[in-house]
Copies of this chain bind each other. A is one copy, B any other.
Amino acid sequence: MVTLAEVARHAGVSASTVSYVLSGKRSISLATRQRVEESIRRLGYHPHAGARALASSRSNIIALMVPLRTDMYVPVMMEIAIAVTTTARTHGYDVLLLTGEEGPDAVRRVTGSGLAEAMILMDVELDDERLPLLRATDQPSVLIGLPAETDGLTCVDLDFEATGALCVEHLAALGHRDIAVIGEAPAVYERHTGFAERTLLGLRDRSRRLGLGLLHRPCAGGYDALALTLARIFDERPGTTGFVVQNESAVEPLLALLRQQGRAVPEDVSVVAVCPEQVALHASVRLTSVAVPAQEMGRHAVEQLVAKLGGRGSDEVVLLAPELTVRASSGPVPARP
């Protein structure tokens, strides 16, 4: 292994000079710098990460904690993870991947060992058990998601409440009076995942204000579950003409079943989805949707974190404004027969 000392010897300078050439923390004459850089190249030198971390107490690593459940909103998670990783690299950081499995212990371990300097948590629950630890430590962290209590925390998320409101508004503007919401699996609500509950809040609130009927049904996704859910909805509210779906694995089944029942989209019923852009575009009917801006969330989270690590940046809740894109799945409510 090539060490800094060897580079120094090879370039005929002291160790500190090499170190400073690398860090740029003090001015070096052009000549020396070039000599050192040449030696570095020639010897194929790479600074030892551990030694660096030890001497500087900075590991240049941030931890990313992803949910263990691989059955839900997977594409979003993956997209965020990748956005986090590439953005982190542009700031000189590497990303350590942690699964939710270890729970709060992972936070302790990573925090305590100096392995990571900071962390990003995904899939935050309203009353997340990791939050006390985050508040207790002085390690910077950013949540992707919004817990119930955000004091002393930095959060980035889509404004799901506004998202819900936006969906209702769109349907209302088209004349729909009875709206059904097909939500995430019951388990998601039971875990009090923030985004699901907040969307619901926005949906309810806005439909109440606009005097619309709103029926919310969690749904596990897949054809069988959805068939059941859909039957119940039309049973209970036969006049339903508008749907809001927030569940990737329910989107296609919904469209297929509606078609199968002879309800045309968007002539007879309108569908608005909350999902990644890709899902909306690839569905059998191009979906009017509010996109979950996964990349932007990941990027934003890293930038907040880096700001904090640099002493800038504050505890702040950033809610990205939802944007509804009208496509082929929503239209005016049909005239009463």
A228 to B282, CA, bound (A): 14
Q: Which of A50, A51, A278 gathers most chain B CB within 10 Å? A: A50
A112 to B44, CA, bound (A): 8
A221 to B283, CA, bound (A): 10
Per the CB 8 Å criterion, the residue count for chain A at the interface is: 56
**Complex interface bits, A45-74 against B, C-beta within 8 A gives 1, otherwise 0:** 111111111100001010010101011001
**Which B residues are CB-close (under 8 A) to A108?**
46
**Which B residues are CB-close (under 8 A) to A1?**
114
A109 at the interface (CB under 8 A from B): yes
With both chains docked as a complex, state the minimum distance between the C-beta of A69 and any C-beta of chain B, in angstroms: 9
The reply to whether A102 and B89 form a contact with Cβ atoms under 8 Å apart is yes
With both chains docked as a complex, state the minimum distance between the C-beta of A26 and any C-beta of chain B, in angstroms: 23
A323 at the interface (CB under 8 A from B): no
A6 to B84, CA, bound (A): 37
With both chains docked as a complex, state the minimum distance between the C-beta of A6 and any C-beta of chain B, in angstroms: 13
Main secondary structure of the interface of A (DSSP, over half): helix
Chain A positions 62-105 with a Cβ under 8 Å from a chain B Cβ: 64, 66, 68, 70-71, 74-75, 77-79, 81-82, 85-86, 89, 94-99, 101-102
**Which B residues are CB-close (under 8 A) to A49?**
50, 53, 59, 113-115
A189 at the interface (CB under 8 A from B): no
The reply to whether B46 and A278 form a contact with Cβ atoms under 8 Å apart is no
With known contacts A50-B50, A282-B223, A97–B95 Cβ distance under 8 A: yes
**Which B residues are CB-close (under 8 A) to A66?**
82
The reply to whether A85 and B99 form a contact with Cβ atoms under 8 Å apart is yes
A223 to B79, CA, bound (A): 22
**Which B residues are CB-close (under 8 A) to A74?**
74-75, 78
A230 to B196, CA, bound (A): 38
A50-B114, A89-B102 are known contacts; what are 7 more A-B pairs with Cβ within 8 Å?
A49-B50, A53-B53, A66-B82, A70-B79, A85-B98, A89-B99, A223-B282
A interface list, Cβ under 8 A from B:
1, 44-54, 59, 61, 64, 66, 68, 70-71, 74-75, 77-79, 81-82, 85-86, 89, 94-99, 101-102, 108-109, 111-115, 221-223, 249, 252-253, 256, 278, 281-284
